[in-house]
Amino acid sequence: MAALKEYESISANLNAFLDLIAYSEGTAHIGDQDGYNVLVGSTPKHPILFDDYSHHPNILNHALDSTAAGRGQIIHGTWERVAAKLGLRDFGPENQDRAMRELVKEREALEDVEAGRIADAIHKCCEEWASFPGGDSGQHENQLDTLLATYRTLGGTIAAEAS
């Protein structure tokens, strides 16, 4: 469950979407911190974790050429920009969620999430999260049908299936 829900009142749809990002990025349920301390390249059988939430770890995985970290696999440069914009002082779970929410908002998908237009939100966010279908990163993409079914199991509501 998104940590932000414990600190701020967020909708069930936004909570489910943040959880869906973690599911899609493969970080949900890795380690004992529900993915918040996961570095890019982790797998459930081979977790690569960090233990200092005071800052984004900024550890380059040379094999993947990425500094992605945390539940939402936010790269260091993106984190620095969003953290400065929002005044976030650490890379703790609730701030990771705040940054993910801001990235969804910047992709103009927050209203879609709140309205249950999840396929639209996923499409708008596919350049932010490479595991969402439709991007051009060349990384593994999850199937839209799988993501929508998972979103429902995470407690999200999908608007009439017309979009």
66 strand-pairing partners: 61
Topology given in CATH for the domain delimited by 4-153 = Lysozyme (1.10.530)
Closest CA relative to residue 121, chosen from 141, 101, 97: 101
Say if residue 50's pLDDT is above 80: yes
CB atoms within 10 A of CB 18: 26
The structure's pTM equals 0.91
Share of the chain above pLDDT 70, in %: 92
Reported as a pLDDT band with limits 50, 70 and 90, residue 2 is low
pLDDT band at 140 (very low <50, low <70, confident <90, very high): confident
Interval 69-84: pLDDT, tens: 999 999 999 999 999 9
Percent helix, strand, coil in the chain, to 5, is: 40, 5, 55
Which residues are catalytic, by number?
25
Given a contact cutoff of 8 angstroms between Cβ atoms, the answer to whether 38 and 70 are in contact is yes
Identify the three-state secondary structure at position 24: helix
Residue range 145-159, pLDDT digits in tens:
999 999 999 999 999
**What is the DSSP-derived secondary structure letter of residue 117?**
-
